[in-house]
Amino acid sequence: MTEPLGASGLILNEKLLWEKGRKGRSGFSMPESDVPSSPLPMELVGDGPDFPDLSEVDVVRHYTRLSTWNFGVDTGLYPLGSCTMKYNPKTNERQAGLSGFSGSHPMLPESLCQGALKLMADLERFLAEITGMDAVSLQPAAGAHGELAGMLVIHAWFKKKGNSRSKIIIPDTAHGTNPASAALCGYIPVQVHTGAEGILAPETIAAVMDEETAGIMVTNPNTLGLFENHLKTISEIVHAKGGLVYADGANMNAVMGIADMGRIGVDVLHLNLHKTFSTPHGGGGPGAGPVCVKKYLKPFLPVPRIIQKDSGQYALSEDFPESIGKLLAFHGHFGVLVRAYSYILSMGAEGLKKASQLAVLNANYLKEQLKDTFHLAYDRPCMHECVFSDRYQQEYNVTTLDIAKRLMDYGYHPPTIYFPLVVHGALMMEPTETESKEDLDQYIDTLKKIAVEAKETPDVLRSAPTRCKVRRLDETAAARKPCLAG
């Protein structure tokens, strides 16, 4: 094996912000006052928040040191399954930072924000084209928010038909946000089991779909990294009982330019721009979760809608009386939308299709190279990710958690672990298309070495990681006596 990536780096300790402050310092260039002082009534005035006073250098060192304790996509391979941690192009950051985009106020008259509206109208059109759906709203702030938007659209559709339904079908492989979003609309989730092939069987859906059920929420490709091959038939079953099909598009990165969600019978779908469309995840957000629908559901999309007048001018219209309303104070996470737009323009149709092809190639390559080392949950061609488990390592009392933690010592972010719930001890790996063969080979070698260690020196895994800023943390004590502020 070549020299491992992971090495003990230069890790500096750093105190908490308020342990550093000294009264009399400042890290801000205070503008001079050119107006007289105008005191407020004393009973309204408070003492001011107890923030530490720091110099500019204090602040810069503090956050620079903190940043070195983090691992990002720019640091290295980040095979976090179902999260699509692909490279986030720098050009996207440049575009979003342009003063027009970053400084534009959302409540200005439309004539003053045509560029922003055009960008959004274009992006809506691009996303409709990529998914095969008819209309798009960019307002939802994240994937789960897009799910909520989609479920509200479905709820509004049934309400209009005077037909209220109480249940929604959700497979056991679903992300937890699916049932949680459905519950916000008052739907009771009906869990169905994934078949032996790792995908849904039409009979399973036919057995539970009835006229009390609003439809199905299904992730396609699913969280096992498999394409739901029977989705078209399932859609027909759901539609025949008057239901609608919601597709969670979190894994759209596998099928751009290949699958047509509209043709499959999907009625509503959300995308995660921070996954498929390369916008950075920012340590947990902000993302964006556009919701895409078929023509007949367009009247229910969130308002305001962007419309183009006969003059060619763009406008914001509230004139959609059946709309579910507003989901966010303004027009969605515009800064994130700019990045996704920039990505699509950089890639073009061919580039996006190639990205999906290479994402799937990388995942299948990992699967083939590792399937003798780790137990493969479903041994069939996968899409963008593949799911292993710790079954082969159990005899050494080594768990998925130990394998994940050991990967950190070798310079990798661990895969998604213990999800989906249907695979016991799951290790869910999504390499994405932006990893080269050389990098994948090194990752594969590392995992093979860890499998040998599991057998020969299992304690090394159980005590990993040892090269990070901290070792394993006591999450139990942290939850028993939570300390959430200093």
Partner 1 sequence: MKDINELKFPENVYYTKDHEWARLEGDIVISGISDYAQDQLGDVVYVELPPVGDRFDNGEVFGTVESVKAVSELFMPIAGEIVAINTALSDMPDVVNADPYREGWMIHIKPSDPAFMETLMTREAYLDMLKG
Partner 2 sequence: MRFLPHTPEQIQLMLMVVGADSLESLFSSIPEECRRLQDMNLPDALSEWALNRYMDALSASLAVSPDYKIFIGAGRYDHYIPATVSALKSRSEFLTAYTPYQPEISQGTLQAIYEYQTLAARLMGVDVVTASHYDGATALSESLLMAIRKTRRKRVAISSLIHPFYRRVLQTYLEPAGFEILDLPFLENGLTDLSLLEGTTDIAAVALQSPNFFGCIEELKTASKKAHEMGALFVAGFTEALAYGLLKSPGSQGADIVFGEGQSLGIPISFGGPGLGMLGCTSEHTRNLPGRLVGKAKDLDGKNGFVLTLATREQHIRREKATSNICSNNSHCALTAAMYMASLGKSGFCNLAKLNHDKAAYLCRQFSDAGFRIPFSSPFFNEFVVEFPKGFETRYQSLLEKKIVAGLPLSTFYSKLANHYLFCVTETVSRKDMDALIQEVKS
Residues in 456-485 at the binding interface with partner 1, rule: CB under 8 A: 475-476, 479-480
Residues 420-459, one symbol each (x = binds partner 1 by CB under 8 A, - = not), give: ----------------------------------------
How far is Cα 15 from Cα 331, in angstroms, rounded to an integer? 39
Give, in degrees to the nearest 5, the angle at Cα 256 between 251 and 261: 75
**CB neighbours of residue 300 within 10 Å:** 26
**Edge-first strand listing for the sheet containing 416-417:** 375-376, 386-389, 426-429, 416-417
Q: Which does 107 bind (CB under 5 to 8 A by kind): partner 1, partner 2, none?
A: partner 2
Nearer CB in complex with partner 1: 90/480: 480
Nearer CB in complex with partner 2: 147/453: 147
To the nearest whole angstrom, how small is the minimum distance from the Cβ of residue 393 to partner 1?
A: 17
How far is Cα 175 from Cα 267, in angstroms, rounded to an integer? 19
Q: Which residues contact 143 (CB under 8 A, 6 or more apart)?
A: 177, 248, 250, 270, 272, 275, 287, 289
Joined tokens for residue 52: 């530490």
**CB neighbours of residue 19 within 10 Å:** 9
To the nearest whole angstrom, how small is the minimum distance from the Cβ of residue 424 to partner 1?
A: 12
To the nearest whole angstrom, how small is the minimum distance from the Cβ of residue 413 to partner 2?
A: 6
The helix/strand/coil state of 469 is coil
Q: Which residues contact 11 (CB under 8 A, 6 or more apart)?
A: 68, 69, 469
Joined tokens for residue 5: 């990536």
Query: For the purposes of burial, counting CB atoms within 10 Å of the CB of 325, is it exposed (0-12), middle (13-18) or buried (19 or more)?
Result: exposed
Joined tokens for residue 200: 């849904």
The answer to whether 227 and 220 have CB atoms below 8 angstroms apart is: yes
Contact status: 427 vs partner 2 (CB under 8 A): no
Contact status: 50 vs partner 1 (CB under 8 A): no
Q: Phi/psi of residue 207, each to 5°? A: -70, -25
How far is Cα 316 from Cα 109, in angstroms, rounded to an integer? 10
Strands (E), 302-422: 305-308, 314-317, 375-376, 386-389, 416-417
| Stretch touching partner 2 by CB under 8 A, among 23-31, 291-299, 309-317, 423-431 | 23-31
**CB neighbours of residue 200 within 10 Å:** 27
The correct pick among 136, 137, 150, 175 for binding partner 2 (CB under 8 A) is 175
To the nearest whole angstrom, how small is the minimum distance from the Cβ of residue 235 to partner 2?
A: 10
Q: How far is CA 306 from the centre of its chain?
A: 25
| Stretch touching partner 2 by CB under 8 A, among 209-217, 292-300, 328-336, 453-461 | 328-336
Q: Which does 326 bind (CB under 5 to 8 A by kind): partner 2, partner 1, none?
A: partner 2
To the nearest whole angstrom, how small is the minimum distance from the Cβ of residue 399 to partner 1?
A: 12
The helix/strand/coil state of 244 is strand
The correct pick among 3, 50, 310, 319 for binding partner 2 (CB under 8 A) is 50
The correct pick among 3, 45, 211, 319 for binding partner 2 (CB under 8 A) is 45
Contact status: 311 vs partner 1 (CB under 8 A): no
Q: Which does 144 bind (CB under 5 to 8 A by kind): partner 1, partner 2, none?
A: partner 2
Contact status: 274 vs partner 2 (CB under 8 A): yes
Q: Which does 469 bind (CB under 5 to 8 A by kind): partner 1, partner 2, none?
A: partner 2
The correct pick among 8, 70, 162, 319 for binding partner 2 (CB under 8 A) is 70
The correct pick among 133, 216, 259, 306 for binding partner 2 (CB under 8 A) is 259
Joined tokens for residue 191: 């869990």
The correct pick among 7, 9, 12, 18 for binding partner 2 (CB under 8 A) is 18
Site size toward partner 1, by CB under 8 A: 4
| Stretch touching partner 2 by CB under 8 A, among 94-102, 200-208, 293-301, 389-397 | 94-102
Computed from CA positions of residues 341, 343, 344, 348, in that sequence, does the dihedral angle turn out positive or negative? positive
How far is Cα 30 from Cα 118, in angstroms, rounded to an integer? 37
Joined tokens for residue 93: 């950051």
- DSSP string of 321-348, one letter each residue: TT----SSSSSS-HHHHHHHHHHHHHHH
Joined tokens for residue 87: 């490279």
How far CA 338 is from CA of 108, 143, 246, 277, 293, in Å, comes to 19, 17, 26, 11, 21
Task: Kindly identify the residues of this chain, within the stretch 194-223, that bind partner 2 according to CB under 8 A.
Answer: none
| Stretch touching partner 2 by CB under 8 A, among 208-216, 329-337, 422-430, 447-455 | 329-337
Residues 462-481, one symbol each (x = binds partner 2 by CB under 8 A, - = not), give: -x-x--xxxxxxxx-xxx--
| Stretch touching partner 2 by CB under 8 A, among 145-153, 202-210, 389-397, 449-457 | 145-153
Nearer CB in complex with partner 1: 29/476: 476
Q: Which does 188 bind (CB under 5 to 8 A by kind): partner 1, partner 2, none?
A: partner 2
Contact status: 270 vs partner 2 (CB under 8 A): no
Contact status: 459 vs partner 2 (CB under 8 A): no
Nearer CB in complex with partner 1: 239/462: 462
